[in-house]
Amino acid sequence: MIRTSSTFTASQWLAIILLIGMSSFSSADSSVNSAAKTEEPKSELPLNEIRVFVDIFDRIKKAYVEEVDDRTLLENAIKGMLSELDPHSAYLEPEAFKDLQISTTGEFGGLGIEVGMEDGFVKVITPIDDTPAQKAGVMAGDLIIKLDDQLVKGLTLSEAVALMRGKAGAPILLTVIRDGHSQPIEIEVIRDIIQVKSVRSNSIEDGYGYVRITQFQVHTGKDLNNAIKNLNTKDKPLSGLVLDLRNNPGGVLQAAVDVSDTFMDEGLVVYTNGRLPNSEMRFNAAPGDKLNGLPLVVLVNGGSASASEIVAGALQDHKRAIIMGTNTFGKGSVQTVLPLHNERALKLTTARYYTPKGSSIQAQGIIPDIIVDAAKITRLDNRNDHFREADLRGHLVNSNGKSEKRGDKKKKKGKETSEPKSLAERDYQLYEALNLLKGLNIAKHATASITISTPSINEGITGGMKAAEPTVIKTEPTNVDDSK
C-alpha cells in the first residue's frame, strides 16, 4: 500500500502515478487479453496530461485559500473523473454505497414514511402500512419542520432522510404542521427495521386488478407473483390487469427480467452489449404466463426509467401488453457496482441494454402504444342538464325497482352531500387504462360469440358443384321510441 504524504513534491507524485498507472494498465491488459480472442495493442499513458494533473494538484496544495489534505483531493479527482463519463457512473463513499444497498434490498432502520420536499420542509407523502410512523400517528400531508432539535429548513431531502434513519429502537421526535391544527404537533417515533414494499396491489373494480411497482428490488418478482395470486382467485377471477410503472426509477436488472417473465410465456426479455465479454448477456422468459394471456395494460411516464423501460419494452415487443401513458425517461445503460476497500464502491456504466427487437432506448425512451397525458378532470354540475324521464311528473315506475329523481342520492335530510372523487378525477391515466381493459374484454367476448360457418362445397357425382346455403341473419322486431 502506498501512503500519501503532503511532503511529496510534484515530481514524486508524478513517479507514484506513473508507477500506479503502469501496474494498473498491465493488470487490466492481462485480464482483458485472457478473456478476449484477439489481442489488442496496449494503450500508452498520456504523460503530458499526467504532468498537468500533478501540476494542478501541487498548485492547489500550495495556493488554495484553505489547507486541503491529500486524501480529499484524490477522492475529489476520482469523483470528477467518473462524473464526467456519464450521469450514472459514480464513486460511492460509504454512506452512498450503503444507501444503494438499501435501495436494492429494501430494508433499513427508520420510520417507515415516503417523503418529499415542499417549501423547504419535509412533506409526508404517505406512511407505510404497519410501520412505526403509522402506529405513532404520522399522517399523509404532514409537514415535518423539526427532527429532534434539528430544524428541517435549510436541509436537503437526503440530509433529512439520513437524520430520520438510524438503529432500530432509537427514538426520534418529529415536530409537524398539520392541516386543521393551529399549533405544531410533536410525535415521538421509535425506529424499527423497515422493509419497503416495492409492489402494491388492489382491485379497481370487480374483475380488474391494479399492481404498482415503485422500484425494482431483489424480491420484486416474488412479490408480484404473490400479488397476482391474491387478486386472481377462483371466487373473483381477473378479466384484466393494470401494471403501473409510472415514476419508477428502475433498480435491479434481474428484477426487471423476473417481472417481464411473469407475463411472458417464452422469448427474449432483454440483452446487453458492452466492451468486455462478461457484459454481453441475454435473458429469456421461462414457460408460464401467470395471467394466462389476460389483457394487460402498462402505465408509463417520463419518470419510468431503466428497469421500468426493460419491462415495458419487452412486453411491447412481444405484443403481450398495451403500453399507455407518455414517453419514458430513456435510460438504456447498465451500471455495475464494484465494491472497493474501506466500504467504498465504484458504480460504472458497463453496457447498453436492448429490447427483444434490438431497439436501444438510450436518450429516446419507450414510446407508448397509446399516448395519454396526465390530466386533471373536473366534474361538471349537471343540475342545468336536460330533464330525464325520471323528472317527468307521473312517469311510470321502473319494474325492477323504484325510480329516483336526479339529485336524490346527493341529498340527505335536506342537505346536499359531496360525492367522493371518481377514478377519472383521482387518476385520469388509470381511468383510461381501465376503460381500455373493459373495451378489450367486450371485443373479446363479442368475437367469441360470433360463429363463422364456412360453407361446405359438395362435389356431385358428375363433378358439378353444389351451391352453399346462404347465411340467414335473423333480427327481432324493433320497437321505435317516439321520444325526442
What's the full length of the chain, in residues? 484
Q: Tens digit of pLDDT for each residue in 196-230? A: 789 999 999 999 999 999 889 999 999 999 999 99
Q: Which three cell numbers stand for residue 207?
A: 374483475
The answer to whether 239 is a known catalytic residue is: no
Instruction: Please check the confidence at residue 428 and state whether its pLDDT lies above 80.
Output: yes
Model confidence at 369, pLDDT cuts 50, 70, 90, reads: very high
Q: To which H or E segment does residue 202 belong?
A: strand 199-205
Sign, Cα dihedral of 260, 265, 290, 439: positive
CA–CA separation, 68 vs 155, rounded Å? 25
Q: Tens digit of pLDDT for each residue in 92-116? A: 988 888 888 877 777 788 898 878 7
Q: Which three cell numbers stand for residue 23?
A: 501496474
CA–CA separation, 257 vs 253, rounded Å? 7
Residue 403 · residue 397 · CB < 8 Å? yes
Note every long-range contact of 58-63, with CB atoms under 8 Å and residues 24 or more positions apart, other chains counting. Answer: 58/9, 58/10, 58/13, 61/6
What contacts 386, CB < 8 A, 6 or more positions away?
none
Is this model's pTM higher than 0.85 or not? no
Model confidence at 421, pLDDT cuts 50, 70, 90, reads: confident
Model confidence at 390, pLDDT cuts 50, 70, 90, reads: confident
Res 157: pLDDT: 82
Beta bridge partners of 346: 91, 338
Distance of CA 413 to the CA centre of its chain: 46
CA–CA separation, 207 vs 211, rounded Å? 13
Instruction: Cell 432500530: give the residue.
Output: 168
Q: Tens digit of pLDDT for each residue in 319-356? A: 999 999 999 999 999 999 999 988 999 999 999 999 99
Q: Select from 140, 173, 171, 144 the least CA-distant residue to 160.
A: 144
The CATH number for 199-371, chosen from 3.40.710.10, 3.90.226.10, 3.40.1190.20, 3.40.50.170, is 3.90.226.10
CA–CA separation, 263 vs 225, rounded Å? 10
Catalytic residue among 306, 308, 333, 347: 306
How much is the average pLDDT of 390-406? 74
The answer to whether 402 is a known catalytic residue is: no
Model confidence at 417, pLDDT cuts 50, 70, 90, reads: low
Model confidence at 405, pLDDT cuts 50, 70, 90, reads: low
User: Residues of CATH 3.90.226.10 domain(s) within the chain?
Assistant: 199-371
User: Residues of CATH 2.30.42.10 domain(s) within the chain?
Assistant: 107-195
Catalytic residue among 308, 331, 347, 427: 331
How much is the average pLDDT of 247-275? 95
The answer to whether 331 is a known catalytic residue is: yes
Res 171: pLDDT: 96
Q: Tens digit of pLDDT for each residue in 40-51? A: 555 677 888 988
- The 3-state DSSP class for residue 295 equals coil
Residue 66 · residue 26 · CB < 8 Å? no
Average pLDDT, the chain: 83
Q: Could you list the beta-strand ranges (E) of 83-177.
A: 90-92, 107-110, 113-118, 121-127, 143-147, 150-151, 171-177
> Which has more confidence, 234 or 418?
234
| Phi-psi group of 130: left, alpha or beta (phi > 0 → left; psi -120 to 50 → alpha; rest → beta) | left
Res 109: pLDDT: 84
The CATH number for 107-195, chosen from 3.30.1490.20, 3.30.70.2520, 3.10.20.30, 2.30.42.10, is 2.30.42.10
How much is the average pLDDT of 420-429? 91
Res 387: pLDDT: 74
